[in-house]
Structure 1
Amino acid sequence: MRRDDRDEPFDDLFREIERMMNDMMNGSNMDVHSGPDVENGFGADTHVDVHDTDDELRVIADLPGVEKRNIELECDGKTLTISARSDHREYDERVSLPRRVNEHTATATYNNGILEVVFEPADQSSDISLE
């Protein structure tokens, strides 16, 4: 073992992490949805939060550079799909909701690149009486 190996035992690990981060930022390991042009819209700029209270479930997504007419929302009660596109990107995010919601009463707003979708909780299933 060389002396400098003992002085910096994590040097190789840090170099490898830095290499992987550089590869990721340069687009070599990016997935289809985010693409290599992270600075042009989706990808690192996009963030989705889910807030669950007793009365409602709120999904908030940052969609910078997207026009309202280029956003499509779909929900099956358990998963919200957000599809959007800008001049530089196509975005398809599936958000697993923490509980079942009533997708028929959902409301959505989009303002200054922020999408907000509000759901009411789904009614509890009915009891089935055994006769």
Structure 2
Amino acid sequence: MRRDDRDEPFDDLFREIERMMNDMMAGGDVGFESRTDTDAGFGADTHVDVHDTEEEVRVIADLPGVEKQNIELECDGKTLTISARSDHREYDERVSLPRRVNEHTASATYNNGVLEVVFEPAEQSSDISLE
């Protein structure tokens, strides 16, 4: 007996999801970029989040297998550069911050493979009056 497609309205959707999953598992292109090169950026096992609130800009990065003494942080007010190394790889990530921060107020903690860096926002530019 031939099945009527009208009986299963989501059949096409499920078929497409299954095709995409099969392509992904086989290493095919499913329409998004994925980094597998361990020398470029943090790699697949690391995640970076940036949270911007009125009071602060917070950057949270997963750095599995990295010792605290092997982490270097640098900020120019617009970009945070995180450099770290472990026995198996080197990490070098530049994180664009959502707004200008005062890099001199930064505080950083590293606990159980999670790096957290907090910045105060930079003071707003003042108006210059003409005389």
TM-score by length of 1: 0.70
CA RMSD of aligned residues (A): 3.2
CA contact (8 A) 2:77 2:100 kept: yes
Aligned residues: 124
Alignment identity in percent?
84
Alignment of structure 1 residues 1-131 onto 2, 5 Å: 42-43=43-44, 45-131=45-131
Which portions of structure 1, spanning 4 or more consecutive aligned residues, are displaced by more than 6 angstroms?
none
Letter in structure 2 aligned against 1:66: V
Helix, strand or coil at the partner of 1:128: coil
Letter in structure 2 aligned against 1:93: E
CA contact (8 A) 1:42 1:63 kept: no
Letter in structure 2 aligned against 1:130: L
Cα gap change, 1:42 to 1:113, in 2 (>3 Å): farther
CA contact (8 A) 2:73 2:81 kept: yes
TM-score by length of 2: 0.70
Helix, strand or coil at the partner of 2:59: strand
CA contact (8 A) 2:75 2:81 kept: yes
If you compute each CA radius of gyration, which structure gives the higher value, 1 or 2?
2
CA contact (8 A) 2:37 2:43 kept: no
Helix, strand or coil at the partner of 2:54: coil
In structure 2, C-alpha distance between the alignment counterparts of 1:55 and 1:126, rounded to whole Å: 19
- 1:24-47 deviation line (CA, Å, top 9, x unaligned): 99xxxx99xx6656xxx843x100
CA contact (8 A) 1:42 1:64 kept: no
